[in-house]
């Protein structure tokens, strides 16, 4: 007896349904027995896995920050004068050498003012201050005028540093301003100093302000007049303010931004207002507080909301 066409179609549908149910049951058993890590990995890949950017971070801390101006200067005697003869002629005698001590009123040299056919007594050259002979630019037999320096005498009991501040920093200079002095002859050592004297006007040629600084505290006997000095002037300072490394700040079209990191390692873009700056650090006047974690390296590759991986 032949089956009807309708019976054949129903049988085919039933077979397809049975196969589908069997496949679903097999899939369920396999997925149930798979490790949780594999399932999680598959879910992440299906949703688009987020790649963490490697960065270095640092904490915002309250600290003292100083704004400095670094310039070069020279160590000089606080009182240094040139000794001139009172008459023109030839040096007939010199009585002192560089490094010798002289007293005020001492005769340091003699000048013969004689001319051909004339004979005059030698004229004494007298020191106008007590101190040490620093320079002796003439020798016996040299011809000198009344404007010729015979000796340079200085009081080495107290030394100062003379330097010239560029015009753009001149308004930051004031009497009593503190400074740190380092010397080529004494590497690795700094000496405290303060501004004791400043010119009321700028030099119109160099556009600089002449200042003189005195060493604070006891003078180190190793410091000598004529030494080359590096002067670090502290023009302003702030204490107990939020400070971060300069490297953490990104200048974006005039806006200063940093990236902070939260406990879930998510980076957040922050706009900040900066204050004083030193060589390596900068004050944060607004936008951060002590304890915030900021990205100090790798921030140029971040966007707001990125996942980060913190490395040492």
Q: Dihedral sign, CA of 29, 30, 34, 39? A: negative
Instruction: Tell which wins on pLDDT, 68 or 193.
Output: 193
DSSP state of 216: -
Residue 241 pLDDT > 70, yes or no? yes
Q: What is the mean pLDDT of residues 229-251?
A: 92
CA distances to 10, 32, 38, 39, 47 from 43, rounded to whole Å, are 39, 15, 9, 6, 6
Strand (E) or helix (H) holding 29:
helix 5-33
* pTM value surpassing 0.75: no
The pLDDT of residue 156 is 85
Q: Which residue has the higher pLDDT, 195 or 220?
A: 195
- More confident site: 38 or 145: 145
pLDDT at 34 over 70: no
Q: What angle do CA 96, 219, 81 make, to 5 degrees?
A: 35
Give the up-direction half-sphere exposure of residue 79: CA atoms within 13 A in the CB hemisphere. 9
Percent of the chain with pLDDT over 70: 87
Residue 298, sorted as left (phi over 0), alpha (psi -120 to 50) or beta, turns out to be left
**Which run of H or of E encompasses 256?**
strand 255-261
Mean pLDDT, the chain, rounded, equals 87
User: d(Cα 56, Cα 310) in Å, to the nearest integer?
Assistant: 6
Kindly report which listed range (72-76, 107-111, 259-263, 276-280) carries the lowest average pLDDT score. Answer: 276-280
Token code pair at residue 68: 């400095």
Cβ atoms of residues 287 and 271 within 8 Å = yes
What does the pLDDT read at residue 24?
66
Task: Look at residue 312 and tell me whether its pLDDT is greater than 50.
Answer: yes
End-to-end CA distance of the chain: 85
pLDDT tens-digit readout, 7-26: 677 777 677 677 777 766 66
- Rounded Cα–Cα distance for residues 168 and 138 (Å): 41
Confidence of residue 1 (pLDDT cuts 50, 70, 90): very low
Q: Note the pLDDT of residue 119.
A: 84
pLDDT for 126 equals 96
Q: How many angstroms separate the CA atoms of 6 and 141, rounded?
A: 143
174-187: pLDDT as tens digits: 999 999 999 999 99
If pLDDT is split at 50, 70 and 90, which confidence band does 49 have?
low
Summarize the confidence of residues 45-65 as an average pLDDT.
Answer: 80
CA distance 257 to 156: 53
The pLDDT of residue 136 is above 90: yes
User: Is the confidence at residue 146, as pLDDT, over 80?
Assistant: yes
Mean pLDDT (whole number) for 287-306: 92
> Is a pLDDT exceeding 50 seen at residue 40?
no
pLDDT digits (tens, 9 = 90+) for 100-129: 999 999 999 999 999 888 888 999 999 999
79 pLDDT more than 90:
no
């Amino acid at each position: 007896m032949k089956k009807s066409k309708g019976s054949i179609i129903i049988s085919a549908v039933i077979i397809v349904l049975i196969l589908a149910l069997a496949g679903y049951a097999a899939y369920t058993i396999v997925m149930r027995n798979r490790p949780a890590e594999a399932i999680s990995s598959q879910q992440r890949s299906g949703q688009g896995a987020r790649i963490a950017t490697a960065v270095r971070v640092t904490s915002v801390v309250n600290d003292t920050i100083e704004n400095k101006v670094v310039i070069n200067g020279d160590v000089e005697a606080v009182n240094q004068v040139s000794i001139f003869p009172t008459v023109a002629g030839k040096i007939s005698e010199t009585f002192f050498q560089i490094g010798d001590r002289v007293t005020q009123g001492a005769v340091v040299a003699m000048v013969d003012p004689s001319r051909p056919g004339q004979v005059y007594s030698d004229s004494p050259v007298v020191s106008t201050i007590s101190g040490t002979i620093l320079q002796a630019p003439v020798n016996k037999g040299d011809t000198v005028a009344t404007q010729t320096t015979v000796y340079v005498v200085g009081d080495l009991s107290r030394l100062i540093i003379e330097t010239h501040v560029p015009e753009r920093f001149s308004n930051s200079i004031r009497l009593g301003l503190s400074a740190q002095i380092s010397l080529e002859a004494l590497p690795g050592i700094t000496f405290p100093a303060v501004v004791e004297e400043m010119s009321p006007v700028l030099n119109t040629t160099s556009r600089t302000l002449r200042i003189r600084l005195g060493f604070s505290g006891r003078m180190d006997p190793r410091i000598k007049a004529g030494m080359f000095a590096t002067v670090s002037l502290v023009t302003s300072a702030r204490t107990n303010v939020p400070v971060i490394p300069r490297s953490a700040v990104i200048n974006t079209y005039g806006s200063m931004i940093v990236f902070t990191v939260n406990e879930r390692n998510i980076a957040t873009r922050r706009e900040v207002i900066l204050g004083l700056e030193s060589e390596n650090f900068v004050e944060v006047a607004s936008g951060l507080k002590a304890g915030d974690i900021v990205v100090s390296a790798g921030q140029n590759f971040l966007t707001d909301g990125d996942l980060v991986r913190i490395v040492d």
